[in-house]
């Protein structure tokens, strides 16, 4: 049997990795590498997926507000009331979008932190980044364009039942197409969204600038939607991998050669 209820012994009642207990000798409890046990993160993953969906809707609302601002300036160039109304709508949707993104990001990172814990117990393989980078990879400039992908790549690799618990390093395991697709669409949406936001901050926007901003916002919303769908698939994929793998810590698992892994699967 596998899963949460199939194997929950005292994690301290196992010999240290590589240690042989003499026949008839009393087993000496050994401290495990971590201070927690496996947990199912399906509920947290579902919460993250729902909030990611809300953020996607908010991104489309922001794109619509940008087109509304462009239409107001084009149709009513001298009507201050119409332009003020359009600015109010744009500002309000921007705030809602920012709040939705923040909520989705917080829950997603909490989920990512917890599945990283599980991954470290499934497999002793060294992750490319320490656990603190589960959060830091998203907020540090420049490296946030690829560090989060590394974090997710290693979690997927360590969670996969085909990965031996005694794999030394996760770096050599190829990334999956799902992670690549999710990350590329996310970066495209992020970059275009930032460009669109900055273009509205450069003084009084002109008609052409508003149109360009609306186009960029729309393309960003499309990329964000694709990234959101792929993120939901990725959350489900990691949760399924961790549920399907026996909840046996690597230091208590038998050594065996890893099964064949097809590249990019």
Alpha helix ranges (H) inside 123-251: 133-139, 147-159, 177-199, 207-244
Rounded mean pLDDT of 145-158? 95
Instruction: State the pLDDT at residue 1.
Output: 39
pLDDT tier at 112 (50, 70, 90 boundaries)?
very high
Instruction: State the pLDDT at residue 223.
Output: 93
**Whose CA is closest to 171, among 214, 137, 118, 127?**
127
The answer to which of 105-109, 143-147, 202-206 has the lowest mean pLDDT is 202-206
Q: Give the tens place of pLDDT for each residue, 74-110.
A: 888 878 898 889 889 988 998 999 999 999 999 999 9
How many residues are there in the chain? 265
Q: Which two tokens stand for residue 192?
A: 């275009």
Which residues of 54-208 form beta strands (DSSP E)?
none
Find out whether 71 and 90 touch, Cβ atoms under 8 Å.
no
Instruction: State the pLDDT at residue 50.
Output: 98
Whether residue 34 is predicted with pLDDT greater than 60 in this model: the reply is no
**Which pTM value belongs to this model?**
0.79
Nearest-angstrom CA–CA distance, 205 and 195: 14
Whether residue 262 is predicted with pLDDT greater than 60 in this model: the reply is no
Angle at 231 between CA 227 and CA 233, to 5 degrees: 120
Whether residue 256 is predicted with pLDDT greater than 70 in this model: the reply is no
> 21-36 burial by CB neighbour count: b if 16+ within 10 A, else e?
eeeeeeeeeeebeeee
Rounded mean pLDDT of 212-230? 92
Q: How far is CA 198 from the centre of its chain?
A: 25
Whether residue 198 is predicted with pLDDT greater than 90 in this model: the reply is no
Please, what is the average pLDDT of the chain?
82
Instruction: State the pLDDT at residue 46.
Output: 97
Q: How far is CA 189 from the centre of its chain?
A: 15
Find out whether 63 and 218 touch, Cβ atoms under 8 Å.
yes
Whether residue 30 is predicted with pLDDT greater than 70 in this model: the reply is no
Q: Give the tens place of pLDDT for each residue, 153-176.
A: 999 999 999 999 999 889 889 889
């Amino acid at each position: 049997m596998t899963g949460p209820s199939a194997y929950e012994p005292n994690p301290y009642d196992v010999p240290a990795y590589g240690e042989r207990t003499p026949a008839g000798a009393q087993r000496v409890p050994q401290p495990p590498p971590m201070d927690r046990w496996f947990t199912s993160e399906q509920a947290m993953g579902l919460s993250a997926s729902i909030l990611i969906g809300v953020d996607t809707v908010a991104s489309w609302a922001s794109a619509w507000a940008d087109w509304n601002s462009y239409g107001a300036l084009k149709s009513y160039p001298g009507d201050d009331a119409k332009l003020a109304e359009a600015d109010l709508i744009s500002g309000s949707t921007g705030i809602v979008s920012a709040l939705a993104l923040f909520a989705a990001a917080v829950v997603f990172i909490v989920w990512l932190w917890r599945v990283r814990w599980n991954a470290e117990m499934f497999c002793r393989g060294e992750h490319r980044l320490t656990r603190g980078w589960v959060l830091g990879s998203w907020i540090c400039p420049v490296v946030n364009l690829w560090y989060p992908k590394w974090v997710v790549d290693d979690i997927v690799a360590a969670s996969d039942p085909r990965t031996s618990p005694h794999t030394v390093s996760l770096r050599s395991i190829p990334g999956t197409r799902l992670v690549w697709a999710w990350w590329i669409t996310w970066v495209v949406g992020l970059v275009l969204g930032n460009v669109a936001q900055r273009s509205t901050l450069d003084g009084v926007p002109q008609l052409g600038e508003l149109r360009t901003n609306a186009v960029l916002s729309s393309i960003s919303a499309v990329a964000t939607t694709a990234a959101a769908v792929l993120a939901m698939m990725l959350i489900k994929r990691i949760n399924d991998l961790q549920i399907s793998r026996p909840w046996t810590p690597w230091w208590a698992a038998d050594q065996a050669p890893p099964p064949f892994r097809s590249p990019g699967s």
